[in-house]
Amino acid sequence: MTCGVAKLLPVQRRVPPPGQATSRSTPRAKNSTGGAGLAYRSRGFASVLSVGSHDRTEPLDFFYNPQPPVEFFARGVDIDVAWLEGATLRCTGNSFATPHMSGICALVLGAHPELTPFQLKSVLYLTSSNVIGSL
């Protein structure tokens, strides 16, 4: 079963006032659109990750994609999702891979809260399952 796909709007770039911390990274599903329905690309925005889904079962198994518009692929196929009255649905899609990448980002930032969005993306790239020398 494939569940409905949420459409997410791009994060508006905001310049913080002097002395205020910058924003954290925000993962977005590949199918996110902005404005007039144009494909949303995150590569021009340091604080946004674009995420597609793969069918591996390991929750922490993610891949870097060198070809735009998707930067990373994470688990997003046959995901058990909580539903009404204690039931679950098995869903597939990029919108279900995005929370996996959000969790991975949270784990990295929990251990290294000083990282900037660019540094976080670099850590994700270097620890991706398909990058030579990754952990």
Query: 4: which residues sit within 8 A by CB, 6+ positions away?
Result: none
Fold classification of 26-127 is Rossmann fold (3.40.50)
Whole-number pLDDT of residue 29: 55
SS3 106: helix
Contact 69, 30 (CB under 8 A): yes
Tens-digit pLDDT string for the chain (135 aa) = 344 433 333 333 334 444 444 444 555 555 544 444 444 455 567 788 899 999 998 889 999 998 878 999 999 999 999 999 999 999 999 999 999 999 999 999 999 999 999 899 999 999 999 887 655
**What is residue 132's predicted lDDT score, i.e. its pLDDT?**
75
Q: Considering the entire predicted model, what is its pTM? A: 0.67
